[in-house]
Amino acid sequence: MFRNLISEFFADLNRQKLRSSLTLIAIGWGTLSVIILLAFGRGLGTGMLNGMLGAGNQVIIVYGGQTGMAYDGLPMGRPIRFTEADVEQIRRAVPGIEYSSPQYGRWGMRLEHDGNITTTYMEGVGPDFEIMRTMYPASGGRFINEMDIEQNRKVLFLGDEIAVTLFGDKDPIGGEVKLNGVPFTVIGVMEPKMQTSMNNGPDANRAIIPYSSFRNLYGNQTVGSILIRPGDPSLQPQVKEGVINYLSAKYNFHPEDNEAIPMWDFIEDEKMTRAVAVGLEYFLFTVGFFTLMIAGVGVANIMFVVVKERTREIGLKKAIGARKVHIISQFLFESIFISLLGGAAGLAISIGIVEFVLSLNLNEGAGEFLGQPEISAVSVIVTTGVLVLIGVLAGIFPAIKAARLDPVESLRYE
């Protein structure tokens, strides 16, 4: 039975070569549009997310601001500044915090090695900064650890680009860099990463030292900001509330005074980025879907032609006892099969295009986003379902028309 359906299908295609070829091309093009749009859309969404996480992975940055309202007899406009002790006290007082670090910062730091000189923004931080800011060391190096903090070591962690500026092709690990004239030992270089959000420049050009060494060198009494990360993103509301309650009680400002301690919430940013990425995929799928539906008109057209050309054959089948369901099934099968055949061709070409783009290794500029397309199993399954739907919709009316033909009139058809 199945073999007969296949042979009849290809016989119909052979009788309508031009029409069939154009229909298959239309279906293939529609499938190609859907798959490629979704692949590049997903790549763009993933790139946006990775770029945002490159600046902060589920981190909440708490800045010291100034009070925006009078409170408890105190005037508005009071500066709020934190100390290193606040970081540890917040971690103990607020449940759910897994990582935390003070953050000092200083512009215009002069770095020199072997005659190579550059300036950058330097930060003094703790060991947890590595995970929170995704500043992972490349092979052979390490990030700042607790011993560096306790012993006020003059050690330096470099961004990947500034390391090249200072050391060129040489291995920086163990090398000496003079930081405003003070010798520091390089302990690690950041593994290259994508970063779209940033403050004070990209991490690739950053110099990092232990916060205790920063304080001893420059005498800072207050930290620039506090970084915290919940153990679970779902704890974000409770953690933020706990931090606000603790700091408002200690520094005597209204808990609803958002100007007193501005926050940069990467968890909220991540939710928004994921929502944008999903919305983009839905939009691109809709565009491709309508392209496919237009191609379905061609399938319906060719099926009506097939019914017309096989009128006598249909009449003969009904005369010898073929039931309506058999006639409908035959034409529905052919309609679905032609949709899937064109779709398979479009999918194969799409895979080839995606693999070619991936082989180019576009890792700079826009290539970081557009150069990493991804064909997901969900997009293939959904597209296959759409192709079947098109086959059913395009074939059902010609199939019903064929099933309703009068056998006697069909046998007289010329």
Residues 40 and 113 reside in one and the same domain: no
Between 391 and 347, the higher pLDDT residue: 347
Which one has a higher pLDDT value, 365 or 170? 170
State if pTM tops 0.85.
no
41 and 175 housed in the same domain? no
Confidence tier at 413 by pLDDT (50, 70, 90): very low
Higher pLDDT, 85 or 312: 85
Q: Which of 18-32, 49-63, 127-141, 368-382 has the highest mean pLDDT?
A: 127-141
More confident residue, 281 or 253: 253
CA distances from 129 to 143, 208, 228, 239 (A): 9, 10, 9, 18
Where among 265, 286, 321 does a domain terminate? 265
Residues 207 and 81 both lie in one domain: yes
Same-domain check for residues 201 and 172: yes
Q: Are residues 335 and 239 in the same domain?
A: no
Mean pLDDT of the chain: 85
DSSP string over 233-301:
GGGHHHHHHHHHHHHHHHHT--TT-TTTS-EEEHHHHHHHHHHHHHHHHHHHHHHHHHHHHHHHHHHHH
* Same domain? 15 vs 114: no
* Domain of 200, in residue numbers: 60-265
Instruction: Read off the pLDDT band of 321 (50, 70, 90).
Output: low
Residue 211: the pLDDT is 97
Q: Looking at 237, 265, 293, which one is the last position of a domain?
A: 265
Within this chain, do residues 331 and 251 fall inside the same structural domain, yes or no?
A: no
Domain count, the chain: 2
Whether residue 212 is found in the same domain as residue 292:
no
Regarding whether 377 and 318 lie in a shared domain, the answer is yes
Above 90 in pLDDT, residue 200? no
Residue 365 pLDDT > 60, yes or no? no
> Does one domain contain both 242 and 339?
no
Helix residue ranges, H only, 134-189: 146-150, 160-167
- Tell me: do 86 and 181 sit in the same domain: yes
Do 140 and 38 fall into the same domain?
A: no
